[in-house]
Amino acid sequence: AQCTDERVNRVTAELFKRYRTAKDFASADPATLEEEIKPTGFYRNKAKAVIGAAKMIVEEFGGQVPRTMEEMLRLPGVQRKTANVVLGTAYGLPTGIVVDTHVDRVSKRLGLVATSVKQAEKIERQLMDLFPQDHWITVGHAMVLHGRYVCTARKPNCAECVLSDLCPKLGVEPQRKPRRSTGRRAQ
């Protein structure tokens, strides 16, 4: 991820103290909001998207975050991943499966999706075809957490993985054993 969850959580905790409603975000001063979200990276684009989305939520959705994928995707800065997170987490609506870098990696290593598939929407569609809709939210969350803490990008912890016996480990480099020291140093 481009920004850690820890950093985002610190920043959003402060933001939500200052901006309590969509209307508050819609009327935010762009330069001030940029400064407040600067630690998350890409702060200019994010500030513009947040203010734009908040204005649309106020003007077109009566101040309420939309409850459909189609409406969510109309909001500035919102793509399927964000829409799936919001709809699944806030409303419990299984509209799709969240595909982030972790889900991408885990689904490919497990052989659920071909390693050649690059587009998140194609990965999402293939995963949706594999799992029943009432499991989509859980599958997304589980794969994100598994990719974050076990099936990491570098040095995946296969020895601790509950799926290790079933996993083809596609794209995983075998772990080399450390060289044993001979006690002599090169000169």
What is the residue range of 37's domain? 6-64
Query: Which 8-state DSSP code applies to residue 61?
Result: H
Is the same domain home to 140 and 163?
yes
Mean pLDDT of 124-135: 99
> Into how many domains does the chain fold?
2
Is the same domain home to 43 and 124?
no
- What is the pTM for the complete model shown? 0.85
CATH of the domain at 25: 1.10.340.30
2 pLDDT higher than 60: no
pLDDT at position 175, please? 64
Please give the positions annotated as active site. Answer: 81, 100
pLDDT at position 1, please? 46
Q: What is the per-residue pLDDT across 88-104, written as a single tens digit (0 to 9) for each? A: 999 999 999 999 999 99
Is the same domain home to 111 and 41?
no
Is the same domain home to 156 and 83?
yes
CATH of the domain at 141: 1.10.1670.10
Look at residue 15 and tell me if it is in a domain. yes
160 pLDDT higher than 90: yes
Inter-residue contact 170 to 109 (CB < 8 Å): yes
Mean pLDDT of 29-33: 98
The Cα–Cα gap between 132 and 54 comes to 33
DSSP 97-128: ----HHHHHHHHHTTSS-TT---HHHHHHHHH
| Of 116, 92, 93, residue with least CA distance to 104 | 116
pLDDT at position 179, please? 60
Mean pLDDT in the chain?
Answer: 93
Inter-residue contact 101 to 1 (CB < 8 Å): yes
